[in-house]
Amino acid sequence: MFHLRGEISGSVEMPRWTAKVFGAISGRLSSCGARYLKFARSFTVNLTVRTDRLWLNTMEDAGYKRFKIEPKPAPHVYQIPNKFDVSARKLRLAAMLVHEAFEYKLNREVVLSRPCIYGVFGGRFGGFKPLKQKCVGCMRCVQEYPHIMTVKQSDSYKRLGDSFWTPENVYTVWNEASTGKIQVKGMGYKGAFAGEGFDGMWTDMSEIVRPTRDGVYGREYISTSVDIGRKPTSIDFSRIDDQPKSLEIPVPIIFDELPAGTYNDDTSDSVERAAEKLGTFYVSRQATSGQLSRKNLVPIIEEENIEDYLQKPPAIVEYDAERSNLFRKLASSFRASIIIARLPLAEDSPEVACKLAREGVHGLHLYADYHGQDYSKETMHVSAALKEVHQQLVREGLRDQVTIIASGGITLAEHVPKAILCGADLVGIDTTVLVALQAEFHGETRSRSDCQLRPRKIDPAWGGQRLVNLMGVWHDQLIEILSAMGMRDVRRLRGDIGRSMMDLELQEQSFKGIPWAT
Ligand code: SF4
């Protein structure tokens, strides 16, 4: 038999409701031999419940903040070509209107109704002069009036970009930078199942139905932060103040140096503003324009200009490892900085990377050309070249000591997780910056010494916002991929090649030796 007696009394002040709960429990436990155990116990519990600002995320008060890039519209300042060319056969259209006028007894509402919900035929002359810039290519008008309407890709759209930058990719980057929203491309995918470079690689999205990791709006936080710098493998207490440095950035993307010949104050100011707002870095050989702080600058330092940076040492510095062996000199001049060796991806990159890691560099910036091809005699895509460097560093037990930044050919959001899967810690973007800022293509953009993209006159505030928007969209897409792969941290993705599939490898495994299949 038990007795439970209790009381709750409370008081409410604005910020909190407090209550004291007290009571007693007593009883008697009897056994079958009529022996019993008596007990009595009193208790008091204090309860405090916050009653103010319950709608706020109190985790933020405790220092927790969900990283989110807020977009703001930054519409195109230079007119972009229409993607679709909409045209109507005028005689047939006129005949249909006359027919409908008789059929529906001049009912204006029916005769003047337009089949396009996007307003393409909403101008004064309706279908006779369609507003082509509004067309999204849904093909409804063609399905309803196949004998009158034609919709095809416009010639000016087809001329966009170069042999690597497809019109579709240019358009995607423009619109991501302009709206800060992920492009929704309806009508299903009618393209090839696999392609070259990153298009020949698929990620394992087997966790796509897991509800708590549902991407951008998920309840679980997915971290996109990465570290730049060298990580200690053990602690040396005698040199505790001299440990390798590392820095955390909230997105695994930095802005690589602008292509040669495209540097100007407007473009570099835009990049600097965006890097500052996003908390990431930008690489440059040029001194800054002086308007903004240069705390996000990663200068590429040469022997002659070391002195320029001594007074205010940057957090990260890069040097051309191909041209000079400046590491020791930089390490003694910039004791608090992270020192990164910059080198082109080529057939000897795995060995060179291991040598530099043993020398003590804190990171490697490996770059391909702007079309994502390395500098080997038999060129490889940056994904394959990266894998070789990563795997060699793993074999030699050096991988965890250095950070790898990969750049060249990173032009779409999905290239970021794919490059990380191949072994990079983070990526750098280059020509993508110029495309987002509406630079003009004047030819092939492949060569790092002769890039044919020409920047246009822009307002740096507008340019900075375009780049922030682009990064916001890429960040959202990265989170979507991580959630579909069941990962809560982008650091876990690095080199996890088992979570990817390569088209070429699959073809070889499945069809090797079958003559009719290859
Ligand atoms: S294709 Fe779609 S958006 Fe374009 S004109 Fe036709 S109905 Fe309108």
Q: What is the percentage of the chain residues whose pLDDT exceeds 90?
A: 58
253 assigned to some structural domain: yes
Q: What confidence score (pLDDT) does residue 205 get?
A: 87
Q: What confidence score (pLDDT) does residue 163 get?
A: 94
DSSP-assigned letters across all residues of 86-151: EEE-HHHHHHHHHHHHHHTTT-HHHHT--S-TTSTT-STTGGGS--GGG-----HHHHH-TTTEEE
Going across the sheet that includes 363-367, the strands are 297-299, 282-284, 253-255, 426-429, 403-407, 363-367, 338-344, 316-320
Which of 120, 133, 144 is the best mutation target for the ligand 1 pocket, counting ligand atoms within 8 Å of the beta carbon and taking the most? 120
* CA-151 nearest atom, ligand 1: 1
Q: What confidence score (pLDDT) does residue 351 get?
A: 97
Whole-number Å distance, alpha carbon 165 to ligand 1 midpoint, is 26
Compute the CA torsion angle 508, 509, 515, 518 (nearest 10 deg).
-40
No. of helices (H) and no. of strands (E), the chain: 14, 19
Candidates 165, 175, 191, 176; CA nearest to 411 is: 165
Residue 294 vs residues 266, 286, 298, 433: alpha-carbon distances, Å: 15, 12, 9, 19
Q: What confidence score (pLDDT) does residue 187 get?
A: 60
Whole-number Å distance, alpha carbon 71 to ligand 1 midpoint, is 28
Answer with the one of 157, 178, 196 that is the final residue of a domain: 157
Candidates 253, 271, 233, 300; CA nearest to 425 is: 253
15 assigned to some structural domain: yes
Which residue minimizes the CA distance to atom 2 of ligand 1? 138
pLDDT, greater one: 241 or 297: 297
pLDDT in tens, 326-376: 999 999 999 899 999 999 999 999 999 999 999 999 999 999 999 999 999
Which residue minimizes the CA distance to atom 8 of ligand 1? 116
Percent of the chain as helix, strand, coil, to the nearest 5: 35, 20, 45
Whether 119 and 9 map to the same domain: the answer is no
137 lines ligand 1 (CB under 6 A): yes
Which of 82, 121, 136 is the best mutation target for the ligand 1 pocket, counting ligand atoms within 8 Å of the beta carbon and taking the most? 136
Of 96-100, 436-440, 448-452, the range with the lowest mean pLDDT is: 96-100
Whether 387 and 491 map to the same domain: the answer is yes
Q: Structurally, how many domains does the chain consist of?
A: 3
Q: What confidence score (pLDDT) does residue 237 get?
A: 76
Structure tokens, 83: 């993607």
Q: What confidence score (pLDDT) does residue 374 get?
A: 97
131 lines ligand 1 (CB under 6 A): no
Whether 33 and 121 map to the same domain: the answer is no
Whose tokens are 């109507």? That residue is: 88
DSSP-assigned letters across all residues of 21-53: EEEEEEEEEE-TTS-EEEEEEEEEEEEEEE-SS
Which of 117, 121, 141 is the best mutation target for the ligand 1 pocket, counting ligand atoms within 8 Å of the beta carbon and taking the most? 141
pLDDT, greater one: 173 or 57: 173
120 lines ligand 1 (CB under 6 A): yes
Answer with the one of 123, 140, 157 that is the final residue of a domain: 157
Which residue minimizes the CA distance to atom 6 of ligand 1? 141
Q: What confidence score (pLDDT) does residue 493 get?
A: 96
Q: What confidence score (pLDDT) does residue 45 get?
A: 79
Interatomic CA distance for residues 132 and 151, integer angstroms: 10
* CA-134 nearest atom, ligand 1: 3
126 lines ligand 1 (CB under 6 A): no
86 lines ligand 1 (CB under 6 A): yes
Of 286-300, 307-321, 376-390, 477-491, the range with the lowest mean pLDDT is: 286-300
The alpha carbon of residue 491 and the mean position of all alpha carbons in its chain are separated, in whole angstroms, by 14
405 lines ligand 1 (CB under 6 A): no
Candidates 384, 316, 399; CA nearest to 353 is: 399
Whether 268 and 119 map to the same domain: the answer is no
What integer best gives the mean pLDDT of the chain?
Answer: 87
Name all contacts of 454-458 with Cβ < 8 Å and 24+ positions apart: 454/262, 455/262, 455/264, 455/266, 455/267, 456/78, 457/266, 458/77, 458/266, 458/267, 458/270
CA angle 371, 452, 301 (to 5 degrees): 75
Q: Is 284 helix (H, G, I), strand (E, B) or coil?
A: strand
Residue 160 vs residues 151, 153, 167, 443, 444: alpha-carbon distances, Å: 19, 12, 5, 10, 11
Whether 57 and 95 map to the same domain: the answer is no
Candidates 444, 388, 433; CA nearest to 407 is: 433
Query: Cα-atom radius of gyration of the chain, to the nearest Å?
Result: 31
Whole-number Å distance, alpha carbon 78 to ligand 1 midpoint, is 24
Asked whether residue 219 carries a pLDDT value surpassing 60, the answer given is yes
Q: What confidence score (pLDDT) does residue 368 get?
A: 98
151 lines ligand 1 (CB under 6 A): yes
Q: Residues near 146 by Cβ (< 8 Å), separated by ≥ 6?
A: none
Whole-number Å distance, alpha carbon 147 to ligand 1 midpoint, is 15
Q: What is the CATH number of the domain that holds 254?
A: 3.20.20.70
340 lines ligand 1 (CB under 6 A): no
Q: What is the percentage of the chain residues whose pLDDT exceeds 70?
A: 86
Side-chain half-sphere exposure of 32, counting CA atoms within 13 A: 0
Whether 25 and 89 map to the same domain: the answer is no
145 lines ligand 1 (CB under 6 A): no
Whole-number Å distance, alpha carbon 432 to ligand 1 midpoint, is 30
Question: How crowded is residue 300: how many other Cβ atoms within 10 Å of its Cβ?
Answer: 17
Of 151-160, 285-294, 358-367, 453-462, the range with the lowest mean pLDDT is: 285-294
35 assigned to some structural domain: yes
- Give residue 113's identity as a one-letter amino acid code: S
Interatomic CA distance for residues 451 and 443, integer angstroms: 8
11 assigned to some structural domain: yes
Asked whether residue 221 carries a pLDDT value surpassing 90, the answer given is no
Please say whether the beta carbons of 208 and 511 come within 8 A: no
Q: What confidence score (pLDDT) does residue 87 get?
A: 93
165 assigned to some structural domain: no
190 assigned to some structural domain: no
Whether 402 and 365 map to the same domain: the answer is yes
Answer with the one of 157, 192, 207 that is the final residue of a domain: 157
354 assigned to some structural domain: yes
148 lines ligand 1 (CB under 6 A): no
149 assigned to some structural domain: yes
Whose tokens are 């139905």? That residue is: 209
Whether 359 and 450 map to the same domain: the answer is yes
Whole-number Å distance, alpha carbon 92 to ligand 1 midpoint, is 18
139 lines ligand 1 (CB under 6 A): yes
Q: Residues near 449 by Cβ (< 8 Å), separated by ≥ 6?
A: 260
Whether 387 and 450 map to the same domain: the answer is yes
Whether 329 and 406 map to the same domain: the answer is yes
Asked whether residue 248 carries a pLDDT value surpassing 80, the answer given is yes
Whose tokens are 């405090």? That residue is: 48
Whether 33 and 119 map to the same domain: the answer is no
118 lines ligand 1 (CB under 6 A): yes
Q: Identify which of 1-10, 95-104, 191-200, 475-484 has the greatest average pLDDT.
A: 475-484
Of 233-242, 264-273, 363-372, the range with the lowest mean pLDDT is: 233-242
Whether 271 and 394 map to the same domain: the answer is yes
485 lines ligand 1 (CB under 6 A): no
Record the pTM.
Answer: 0.83
* CA-137 nearest atom, ligand 1: 1
Domain region containing 376: 221-233+243-495
